[in-house]
Amino acid sequence: MSVIDLRSDTVTQPSAAMREAMLAAETGDDVYGEDPTVILLERRLAADLGFSAGMFVPSGTMSNLLALMAHCERGDEYIVGQQAHTYKYEGGGAAVLGSIQPQPIEMEADGTLDLARVEAAIKPDNFHFARSRLLALENTMHGKVLPLDYLAAARDFSHRHGLALHLDGARLYNAAVKLGCDACEITRHFDTVSVCLSKGLGAPVGSVLCGSEAFIAKARRLRKMVGGGMRQAGILAAAGLYALEHNIGRLADDHRRALQLGDELAALGFAVEPVQTNMVYVEMGEKAAALTAFCAQRGIRLTSATRLRLVTHMDLHDEHLPVVVNAFAEFAENMGRC
């Protein structure tokens, strides 16, 4: 039985062509700064996003951690959404490893942080308080695209208050494709940006952190410190370069499939949230675990959160959609009967 995996867009297998690009990669020792393919990837992405420097790292978690640590000293704080990845899903790394205090803020339904709320959380310059240093946003946020005019407002706000502005752009290109703009139209509002190559872009490993030369130099020291210096990493960077060349435009297919899946599940009576990019959220309440078990028997892998997240990706094709929709339909019928 072939498996349909909707848990995340991280589950994709590197394609044959991507593996060939990896096999052919020119490599060197990247800790010495001598891996030509890593350098190419870092320069390419930094240039695409409008920054002077980039740094290849093993994961998005490390990329965000190094960004937070490079922006904030011990006893500084960063302001962040309550549901944001850097706050909620990264093991508290900024606090554990950077002695950086998070100041989480309740998020708005559209994935933004209300700037009046952020303003109220900024600490006065007084020795009683941590020093508010940084505002961190996420785009896409739970599959939602932050509006460009909001980003412009967040940039003006941050600069007015002496905060740096970081973007966790794990799915930056999903946002750009949805908006139909160049990614730099999004990133130009930020001081630093982290991008994942291993999500919808389909690379097996890797993220890139972009910022100024001075910022990246500082982050490079921190990368070594946390053990993220890799040697012949060009073999991985080649996958990232391949992904940037070939896998951005096709994100529109993931978005189209997510929209179709959302529409068809809604038509069956499921409580589907509006779909923007490659994520379909379905409120399953107490039936979540039963649905997950039901689908598992049919070769469909889901997480079992009550607010169920279905993620479309490169390895999910049109012919998989009716299989998923039929399983949900069958589940709904069974549930109706009991």
| Chain residues that interact with ligand PLP, rule: CB under 6 A | 59-61, 64, 85, 138, 168, 170, 196, 198, 207
* Local structure of 314: helix, strand or coil: coil
Report which secondary-structure segment, H or E, holds 167. strand 164-169
Backbone angles phi, psi at 25, to 5 degrees: -65, 135
> Distances from the Cα of 123 to the Cαs of 2, 127, 136, 155, in angstroms?
54, 10, 16, 18
State which residue, 7 or 131, has the beta carbon closest to ligand PLP. Answer: 7
Cβ(242)–Cβ(203) below 8 Å: yes
Please enumerate in sequence order all residues whose Cβ is within 8 A of that of 88, keeping only pairs 6 or more positions apart, or say none: 82
What type of residue is 223? R
Residue 140 preceded by cis peptide, ω within 30: yes
- Residue number with CB closer to ligand PLP (57 or 272): 57
| Shortest Å, Cβ 327 to ligand PLP | 26
Cβ distance to ligand PLP smaller for residue 64 or 158: 64
Work out how close the CB of 140 gets to ligand PLP at its nearest, in angstroms, rounded to a whole number.
8
The minimum distance between CB 199 and ligand PLP, in angstroms, equals: 6
Amino acid type, 121? A
C-beta of 85 vs 166, nearer to ligand PLP: 85
Of 248 and 290, nearer to ligand PLP (C-beta) is 248
| Shorter beta-carbon distance to ligand PLP: residue 122 or 243 | 243
Q: Kindly report each contact of residues 270-273 with a partner whose C-beta sits within 8 Å and lies 24 or more positions away, as own/partner.
A: 270/328, 270/332
Helix runs in the chain, H state only: 16-23, 36-49, 60-71, 85-88, 93-98, 115-121, 148-160, 172-179, 183-187, 213-225, 234-246, 251-267, 288-296, 320-337
> CB nearest ligand PLP: which residue?
60
Question: Nearest approach, Cβ of 138 to ligand PLP (angstroms)?
Answer: 5
User: Taking the CB of residue 320, how many other CB atoms lie within 10 A of it?
Assistant: 19
1 burial via Cβ count (<10 Å: 0-12, 13-18, 19+): exposed
Write down the residue that tokens 């001075």 correspond to: 214
| Residue 21 vs 80, nearer CB to ligand PLP | 80
Tokens 């020119």 label which residue? 26
- The distance of closest approach from Cβ of residue 61 to ligand PLP in the complex, given in angstroms and rounded to an integer, is 3
Q: Which one, 10 or 15, has the nearer CB to ligand PLP?
A: 10
Nearest distance from C-beta of residue 141 to ligand PLP, angstroms? 7
Residue 54's SS3 state is strand
d(CA 270, CA 299): 20
Q: C-beta of 144: minimal distance to ligand PLP in Å?
A: 12
Beta carbons of 139 and 145 less than 8 angstroms apart: yes
Q: How far is the CB of 60 from ligand PLP (least distance, A)?
A: 2
Least separation in angstroms between CB 171 and ligand PLP: 6
- Closer CB to ligand PLP, 60 or 98, in the complex: 60
